Amino acid sequence: MLIGKFYSGIEVHRSEKIIVVKFLTPHRVISTCRAGGGLRDDFDLIFNHQSCEPTGHTRKTHAQAVHEPAAYMRTICLQNSLSENCASLGTAANMNCAAIKSETFRDLEVVTVCTGGVETNAGRAGDPASLYEINGKFKSADIEAKEPCGTINIILCINRELTQGAMVRSVMMATEAKTAALQDLNVNSCYSDGLATGTGTDQIAVASRLTGETPLTGAGKHTKLGELIGRTVKKAVAGTLELQNGMTPLSRRSVLVHIERFGADQKAIQEGMAIFLSKDQTVLLNNNFDCINSDPITVAAAAALVHMRDKFIQRILPETCLAEIFTTYGAHLAAAVSGKYDRFILYKSRLPGEKIRLEKSAFLEFIYCCMAMGYEEKWETKFI
pLDDT digits (tens, 9 = 90+) for 41-72: 999 999 999 987 766 555 555 555 556 788 99
pLDDT in tens, 356-369: 999 999 999 999 99
Is the pLDDT confidence value at 270 over 80?
A: yes
d(CA 179, CA 234): 8
d(CA 202, CA 101): 19
User: What pLDDT score does 141 carry?
Assistant: 75
**Residue 349 neighbours by CB under 8 Å, 6+ apart:** none
Q: Which domains does the chain have, with CATH numbers?
A: 2-245 (3.60.70), 255-375 (no CATH)
Nearest to 263 by CA among 182, 125, 368: 368
Contact 358, 340 (CB under 8 A): no
Is the pLDDT confidence value at 147 over 90?
A: no
d(CA 266, CA 289): 8
Neighbours of 85 (CB within 10 A): 12
Is the pLDDT confidence value at 109 over 90?
A: yes
Proportion of the chain above pLDDT 70, given as a percent: 93
Confidence band (pLDDT; 50, 70, 90) for 25?
A: very high
pLDDT in tens, 251-269: 999 999 999 999 999 999 9
